[in-house]
């Protein structure tokens, strides 16, 4: 399986990559298939079936609305997030869904949007889309949203081929050990090796432009998060904190040396809160590698870029490429999906990725970088996914701030060493996979355990 940096970092919308971005992509792919088959004009009814975690926490994550937007032909990277609520309200009023943006199909929410208390065999985030014509069923497809906005259909799931991308990479790796060996053999830094691999898909100029586009989207997300105030949607009455914290930190003055002051840590918190509040409000953001954990990687980079002298575009590209190398390892050997392995797969992976990215731009050797990622992930092992009310707010927003600070500390600790350490990143990733397999389902994005339950009890 070949995974690109642009698979892990995707411009999308909040609040969840697996529950919002993935379902919207699945529905848009379904409509694309109908278009190619020439079925669109014949559709008289659409039925949406959400299963497992998509059913349990889908409404809180906006999965139902996201599927409708996908059925209307919208994609997560292009849709205007501010238009989703009014368009859903219009659908409720009219009882009419514009399939692929053009074809009117009656849609009754209670009848046609089914939240089912059952699981499909392959993955907890499952959905089936069915269209009927005058003569009965025209077509149906089942999709699995497997984390980070990745979607596989039933055929791919049944064949076990989760990623059809068979691109041959010059330095393909499936373990950190292989990655380190390749770096050593070819005398490459991790970001250089990743750049060489990325060139299998696109030119270096396109890669750099794409990475800077991601960085711009992350900066816009932080700027929006610092502007917006008030209460987050969803009913928990969680207050946005970033704007107020920003004003307070501006009064204190910016730190001028990276890692030097406690207020520096507060700026890291600020950037993460801004992103995750924007994500919780359904705003434009970048999966990194998921929405729930989207604040960590931009927070660490914002911290570095804003408060370090002479940061270059090359540093930014190095950061994303090195972070992606670790994301690839987590995805290939465990999971980046909270529904599969709990929050360790989301926040843990993002923390390891950010630690690796920061270590890279601070001049780490490949061994030190691997150590930074290992520290970042190790101290998130066992973290459960238990969002209160099924909303990506509590504990998710603060958890990103804590993990961003942890990532910086992990990079600093690793840079003080020589890359030698007790337990390898490969073993920690394997431990994440095994811990996730042992974890009770109630701790995997179902909101049936942990804080999700305690918060309701009290
Ligand atoms: S608890 Fe973690 S994995 Fe679960 S929704 Fe929140 S950030 Fe994502």
DSSP 367-386: HHHHHHHHHHHHTTTT--B-
What lies within 8 Å, CB to CB, of 280 at 6+ separation is 14, 15, 232, 233, 234, 238, 391, 392, 393, 396, 397
For residue 343, how far is its CA from the centre of ligand 1 (angstroms)? 5
Given ligand 1 and candidates 396, 450, 452, 454, which is best to mutate, with the most ligand atoms within 8 Å of its CB?
396
Distance CA 288, CA 284 (A): 13
Residue nearest to atom 3 of ligand 1 (CA): 343
What count of residues does the chain have? Answer: 458
Given ligand 1 and candidates 19, 277, 387, 395, which is best to mutate, with the most ligand atoms within 8 Å of its CB?
387
Q: Which of 89, 94, 70, 202 is nearest to 149 (CA)?
A: 70
**371-409 exposure pattern, b = at least 16 Cβ within 10 A, e = fewer:** bbbbbbbbbbbbbbbbbbbbbbbbbbbbbbbbbbbbbbb
Classify burial at 159, counting beta carbons within 10 Å of its beta carbon; exposed 0-12, middle 13-18, buried 19 or more.
exposed
Classify burial at 77, counting beta carbons within 10 Å of its beta carbon; exposed 0-12, middle 13-18, buried 19 or more.
middle
pLDDT 10s per residue in the chain (458 long)?
Answer: 899 999 999 999 999 988 999 999 999 999 999 999 999 999 999 999 999 989 988 887 899 999 999 999 999 999 999 999 999 999 999 999 999 999 999 999 999 999 999 999 888 899 999 999 999 999 999 999 988 888 999 988 888 765 567 899 999 999 999 999 999 999 999 999 999 999 999 999 999 999 999 999 999 999 999 999 999 999 999 999 999 999 998 887 766 545 545 678 999 999 999 999 999 999 999 999 999 999 999 999 999 998 887 899 999 999 999 999 999 999 999 999 998 999 999 999 999 999 999 999 999 999 999 999 999 999 999 999 999 988 999 999 999 999 999 999 999 999 999 999 999 999 999 999 999 999 999 999 777 889 988 876 54
The finding on whether 288 has its CB within 6 A of some atom of ligand 1 is: no
Within a 10 A sphere around the Cβ of 289, how many other Cβ atoms? 33
The finding on whether 436 has its CB within 6 A of some atom of ligand 1 is: no
For residue 312, say if its preceding peptide bond is cis, omega within 30 degrees of 0. Answer: no
Q: Give yes or no for a contact between 330 and 352, defined as CB atoms under 8 angstroms apart.
A: yes
Please give the CATH number for the structural domain made up of 17-159. 3.30.1330.90
Given ligand 1 and candidates 272, 292, 350, which is best to mutate, with the most ligand atoms within 8 Å of its CB?
292
H-type helices in 379-424, by residue range? 396-415
Pair of tokens at residue 395: 């504990």
pTM of the model as a whole = 0.91
Question: What are the residue ranges spanned by the domains of the chain?
Answer: 17-159, 176-457
- Return the pLDDT at 235: 92
73: left (phi over 0), alpha (psi -120 to 50) or beta: left
């Amino acid at each position: 399986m070949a995974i690109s940096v642009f698979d892990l970092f995707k411009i999308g919308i909040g609040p969840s990559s697996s529950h919002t971005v993935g379902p919207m992509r699945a529905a848009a792919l379904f409509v694309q298939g109908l278009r190619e088959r020439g079925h669109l004009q014949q559709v008289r009814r659409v039925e949406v079936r959400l299963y497992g975690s998509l059913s349990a926490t889908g409404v809180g994550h906006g999965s139902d609305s996201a599927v409708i937007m996908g059925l209307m032909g919208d994609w997560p990277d292009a849709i205007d997030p501010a238009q989703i609520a009014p368009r859903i309200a219009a659908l409720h009023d009219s009882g009419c869904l514009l399939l692929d943006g053009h074809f009117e199909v009656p849609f009754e929410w209670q009848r046609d949007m089914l939240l089912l208390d059952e699981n499909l065999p392959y993955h907890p985030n499952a959905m089936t889309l069915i269209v009927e014509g005058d003569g009965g069923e025209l077509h149906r497809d089942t999709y699995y949203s497997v984390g980070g906005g990745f979607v596989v259909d039933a055929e791919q799931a049944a064949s076990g081929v989760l990623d059809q991308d068979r691109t041959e990479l010059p330095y393909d790796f499936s373990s950190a050990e292989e990655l380190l060996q390749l770096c050593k053999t070819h005398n490459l830094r991790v970001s250089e090796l990743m750049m060489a691999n990325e060139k299998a898909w696109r030119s270096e100029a396109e890669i750099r432009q794409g990475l800077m586009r991601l960085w711009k989207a992350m900066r816009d997300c932080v700027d929006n998060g610092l502007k917006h105030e008030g209460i987050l949607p969803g009913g928990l009455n969680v207050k946005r904190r970033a704007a107020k914290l920003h004003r307070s930190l501006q009064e204190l003055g910016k730190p001028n040396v990276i890692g030097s002051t406690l207020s520096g840590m507060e700026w890291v918190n600020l950037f993460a809160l801004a992103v995750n509040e924007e994500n919780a409000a359904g705003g434009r953001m970048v999966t990194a590698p998921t929405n729930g954990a989207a604040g960590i990687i931009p927070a660490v980079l914002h911290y570095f870029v804003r408060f370090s002298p002479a940061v270059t575009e090359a540093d930014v590209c190095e950061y994303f490429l090195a972070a992606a190398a670790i994301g690839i390892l987590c995805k290939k050997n465990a999971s980046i999906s909270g529904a599969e392995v709990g929050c360790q797969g989301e926040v843990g992976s993002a923390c390891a990725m950010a630690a690796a990215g920061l270590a890279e731009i601070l001049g780490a050797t490949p061994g030190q970088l691997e150590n930074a990622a290992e520290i970042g992930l190790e101290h998130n092992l066992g973290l459960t996914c238990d969002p209160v009310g099924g909303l990506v707010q509590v504990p998710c927003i603060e958890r990103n701030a804590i993990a961003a600070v942890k990532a910086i500390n992990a990079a600093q600790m690793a840079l003080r060493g020589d890359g030698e350490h007790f337990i390898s990143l490969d073993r920690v990733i394997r431990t994440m996979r095994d811990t996730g397999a042992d974890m009770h389902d109630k701790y995997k994005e179902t909101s049936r355990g942990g804080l999700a339950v305690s918060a309701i009890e009290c």
